């Protein structure tokens, strides 16, 4: 903005910083006041390092706005410096944060983390330290992290095979990246095949979606890679035309695409915990139908990439047609991968693929042991009610008992006896008034209804409690992305209070200042 008599021009760095910190103070105080007014809240925490290898702890708070009568909000509140990221230091930092901002620790319902041992360690983890004095506090292991760990479980049975497939994928990335001439040649060949995806991707171990995206992109550019390597990289052309390598690349592209869909759902902002079970069940059912509950002839029949490969390779050849209609054939070799003793047959590949799927399903079932509690909050989701009135009565009673028993609800905050007495009427009315609505949609429709608060105050409080149970820490991951964008390599000398202020304003400022 140009200087003028109407507007001030703040060119002094010190003055600009003072103004930034003043705005931050106002925005943060508004957030803290809203959080204090909420009847319940939860913390989402994660620790990471920035470009200068400085350790930080990021804190988000999930709470109900408008003193418990509005929608939920997941807000970034503070970025803390950590000299040592052990459990004791993190516990003390969070306690100091709660005390400094005068938050009522009795209203703290849950702490969501990435599941690292320092966070959820049985004896000395951060969560265990809180639960020593506040046993009602729940520990939530981020569902997106859990799903990513379950995906990794698939590689346990045959790690060398999947490691070689990763090696092939990364070879494509490095081979194209080291030479502009090779990339230009690939572009020319892809133009001949009428393809749009020109860039190979690299597998990144800390990014949840990377391997699936890499495999799908590799399948898409496979005709061009085969064409190019046939003449310029004969050793790797020999490796990539092994049938088992092609089978696993196409198989992983299909399976990881489905897991990526699930991961993207799990990373949604303010995830509804009552939907987690349904999404998991749908994914598990799809995997069983495609890969486990079928005979060899129908294995992967409904999967896009693998079914296309199996149809194409009936004559032990890979056939691709370019834009001009000319066919290009590559002979497939049925032999073992390097460092693998198997024979590389179709039956052997299917056996390995089935073991991979079973490992994933076992991992999902093992890592989501808290689903019964998440499902119990379906008592506030009329779309989940059984159609039959008798079944609805039985199920809602079971759900409420499960919530009360698991959460150790303080009787000073919620009258358990009254909530049990009002449960039948509350669920009956909710079923009729908000039929087919989810827990969050029903809350938006009736959270400001005075009659509901007058008739069912204790059930409404439990509803508030369920709304602030966090499902994932994906908000923290997005917060660290903001951190790295703001504190880039060229701005690595930013002080913590300046970085914290810029993050607060970029993430929360617009909503608070409006």
Question: What is the C-alpha to C-alpha distance for residues 384 and 434, in angstroms, rounded to an integer?
Answer: 11
Distances (CA, A) of 471 to 112, 127, 151, 477, 478: 7, 16, 18, 14, 15
**H runs (alpha helix) in 313-449:** 346-367, 371-376, 389-407, 416-433, 439-446
**H runs (alpha helix) in 121-207:** 126-133, 143-153, 159-177, 180-192
Mean pLDDT of the region 453-461: 93
pTM of the model: 0.87
What pLDDT shows up at residue 175?
74
Is 339 a residue whose pLDDT tops 80?
A: no
Please check whether residue 104 is in contact with residue 78, taking contact to mean a CB–CB distance below 8 angstroms.
no
Residues 112-158: tens digit of each pLDDT? 999 999 999 888 899 999 999 888 899 999 999 999 899 889 989 88
What pLDDT shows up at residue 203?
55
Residues 75-123: tens digit of each pLDDT? 999 999 998 889 999 999 999 999 999 999 999 999 999 999 999 988 8
Distances (CA, A) of 373 to 334, 368, 400, 458, 504: 49, 10, 10, 19, 33
Strand partners, 110: 138
Which pLDDT band, with edges at 50, 70 and 90, does 185 fall under? low
Helix (H, G, I), strand (E, B) or coil at 328: strand
Question: What is the C-alpha to C-alpha distance for residues 506 and 98, in angstroms, rounded to an integer?
Answer: 23
CA pseudo-torsion sign 375, 379, 381, 383: positive
Q: How is the chain split among helix, strand and coil, in percent rounded to 5?
A: 60, 10, 30
Gyration radius (Cα) of the chain, Å: 27
Is 294 a residue whose pLDDT tops 80?
A: yes
Please check whether residue 258 is in contact with residue 283, taking contact to mean a CB–CB distance below 8 angstroms.
yes
What pLDDT shows up at residue 514?
52
Is 196 a residue whose pLDDT tops 80?
A: no
């Amino acid at each position: 903005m140009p200087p003028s008599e109407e507007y001030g021009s703040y060119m002094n760095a010190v003055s600009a910083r003072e103004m930034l910190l003043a705005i931050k103070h106002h925005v943060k105080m508004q957030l803290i006041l809203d959080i204090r007014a909420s009847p319940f809240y939860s913390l989402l925490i994660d620790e990471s390092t920035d470009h200068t290898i400085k350790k930080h702890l990021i804190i988000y708070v999930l709470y109900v706005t408008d003193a418990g009568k509005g929608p939920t909000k997941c807000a970034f509140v503070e970025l803390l410096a950590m000299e040592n990221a052990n459990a004791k230091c993190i516990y003390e930092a969070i306690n100091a944060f709660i005390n400094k901002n005068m938050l009522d620790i009795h209203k703290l319902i849950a702490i969501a983390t990435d599941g690292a041992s320092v966070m959820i360690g049985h004896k000395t983890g951060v969560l265990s330290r809180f639960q020593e004095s506040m046993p009602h506090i729940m520990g939530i292991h981020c569902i997106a992290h859990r799903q990513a760990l379950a995906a990794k479980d698939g590689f346990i049975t045959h790690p060398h095979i999947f490691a070689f497939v990763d090696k092939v994928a990364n070879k494509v990335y490095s081979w194209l990246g080291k030479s502009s001439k090779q990339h230009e040649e690939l572009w020319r060949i892809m133009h001949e095949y009428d393809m749009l995806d020109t860039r190979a991707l690299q597998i990144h171990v800390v990014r949840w979606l990377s391997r699936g995206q890499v495999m799908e992109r590799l399948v898409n550019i496979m005709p061009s890679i085969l064409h190019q390597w046939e003449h310029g990289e004969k050793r790797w052309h020999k490796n990539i035309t092994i049938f088992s390598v092609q089978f696993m690349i196409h198989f992983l592209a299909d399976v990881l695409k489905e897991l990526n869909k699930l991961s993207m759902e799990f990373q949604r902002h303010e995830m509804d915990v009552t939907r987690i079970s349904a999404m998991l069940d749908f994914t598990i059912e799809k995997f069983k139908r495609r890969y486990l509950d079928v005979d060899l002839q129908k294995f992967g029949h409904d999967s896009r990439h693998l079914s296309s490969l199996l149809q194409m390779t009936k004559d032990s050849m890979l056939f691709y047609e370019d834009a001009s209609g000319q066919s290009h054939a590559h002979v497939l070799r049925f032999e073992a991968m390097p460092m693998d003793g198997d024979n590389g047959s179709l039956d052997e590949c299917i056996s390995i693929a089935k073991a991979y799927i079973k490992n994933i399903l076992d991992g999902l079932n093992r890592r989501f042991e808290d689903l019964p509690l998440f499902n119990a909050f379906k008592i506030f989701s009329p779309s989940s009610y059984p159609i039959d009135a008798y079944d609805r009565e039985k199920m809602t009673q079971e759900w409420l008992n499960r919530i009360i028993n698991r959460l150790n609800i303080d009787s000073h905050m919620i009258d358990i006896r009254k909530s049990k007495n009002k449960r039948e009427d509350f669920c009956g009315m909710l079923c009729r008034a908000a039929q087919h609505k989810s827990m969050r949609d029903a809350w938006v429709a009736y959270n400001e209804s005075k009659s509901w608060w007058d008739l069912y105050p204790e059930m409404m409080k439990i509803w508030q409690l369920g709304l602030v149970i966090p499902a994932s820490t994906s908000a923290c991951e997005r917060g660290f992305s903001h951190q790295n964008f703001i504190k880039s390599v060229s701005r690595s000398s930013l002080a913590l209070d300046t970085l914290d202020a810029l993050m607060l304003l970029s993430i929360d400022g617009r909503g608070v200042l409006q």
